[in-house]
């Protein structure tokens, strides 16, 4: 066994064998760099600055969000765009980034069919319904990552809220946060 370790760390008989550990190290370094870049990209595309970069001037959602309780409140807590619109689990996050993110970039930069002039009349309700359906489909988990039902003081809530904030009832009736709380961070479209 001693000869194995001695042979492993000794100079190889052929110079090309040095490429194996060097190649392995380079492969590991490249993988680490790729992982770091991927992680940085996920974080950077979850910032409000990234979201606002496209939405400002294209629609009114940024202005509405900035006057909502999710952005400006007495507690100083800011719910970012990603807190509400991007699932926290990896698979859900990747699905959202790939499907919605790529489609949004395509619509903004190539098709250019959504703009400030036509947003409210032609696109707002359709886009809002898409977001509501996505939130409803995932059971409003993004809402509950901040508004944890297990920590609610139901006794301190008014009667109607106390009756409606019953998680057992939600499961029974198949409802989630977004079924009652549309128009919280953005103007609710009506038609």
pLDDT digits (tens, 9 = 90+) for 59-88: 889 999 999 999 998 989 999 999 999 998
**The whole model's pTM is what?**
0.75
pLDDT digit string, tens, across residues 2-44: 677 777 677 666 666 666 778 889 999 999 999 999 999 999 9
pLDDT digit string, tens, across residues 118-154: 888 888 898 899 889 888 888 888 998 888 888 888 8
CATH class of the domain comprising 24-180: mainly alpha
Q: Where do the structural domains in the chain lie, given as residue ranges?
A: 24-180
How confident is the model at residue 16, as a pLDDT? 65
Beta bridge partners of 59: 56
Q: Is the pLDDT of residue 191 over 60?
A: no
Please give the Cα distance from 7 to 20 (Å, whole number): 15
How confident is the model at residue 190, as a pLDDT? 72
End-to-end CA distance of the chain: 80
């Amino acid at each position: 066994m001693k000869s194995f370790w001695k042979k492993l760390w000794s100079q190889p008989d052929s110079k090309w064998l040095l490429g194996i550990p060097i190649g392995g190290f380079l492969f590991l370094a490249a993988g680490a760099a790729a992982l770091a870049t991927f992680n940085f990209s996920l974080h950077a595309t979850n910032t409000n600055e990234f979201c606002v970069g496209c939405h400002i001037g294209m629609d009114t959602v940024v202005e509405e969000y900035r006057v909502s309780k999710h952005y400006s409140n007495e507690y100083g807590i800011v719910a970012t765009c990603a807190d509400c619109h991007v699932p926290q689990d990896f698979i859900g996050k990747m699905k959202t980034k790939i499907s919605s993110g790529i489609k949004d970039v395509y619509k903004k930069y190539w098709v250019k069919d959504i703009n400030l002039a036509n947003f409210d009349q032609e696109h707002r309700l359709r886009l809002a319904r898409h977001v509501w359906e996505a939130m409803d489909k995932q059971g409003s988990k993004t809402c509950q990552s901040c508004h944890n039902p297990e920590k609610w003081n139901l006794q301190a809530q008014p009667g109607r809220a106390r009756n409606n904030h019953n998680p057992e009832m939600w499961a029974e009736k198949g409802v989630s946060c977004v079924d009652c709380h549309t128009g919280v961070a953005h103007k609710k479209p009506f038609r």
